[in-house]
Amino acid sequence: MMKKHKAQQAYFGQYGSNLLQDYVAKEVKNQDRIVVINDDWLVVVPYWAAWPFETRALPYLESPS
């Protein structure tokens, strides 16, 4: 758990933004691996999935236009 936390801190330090929110934005833009999306959640098959039925649920915070 600490390894993931440190990686996300390093990402924020380098890019000034949240890693998971950036990942969600990229998936929404590409539309390739989305299983379902609503006002609150995005479910995707991540690019690193070992199995085609492996999914990840992430909070979906639509950025203001």
The string of pLDDT tens digits covering residues 10-65 is: 999 999 999 999 999 999 999 999 999 999 999 999 988 998 789 999 999 865 54
Q: What is the per-residue pLDDT for 63?
A: 59
Q: What is the per-residue pLDDT for 27?
A: 93
For residue 4, name the pLDDT band (cuts at 50, 70, 90). confident
Q: What is the per-residue pLDDT for 65?
A: 46
CA 16 to CA 40: how far, in whole Å? 23
| CB distance 60 to 24 below 8 Å | yes
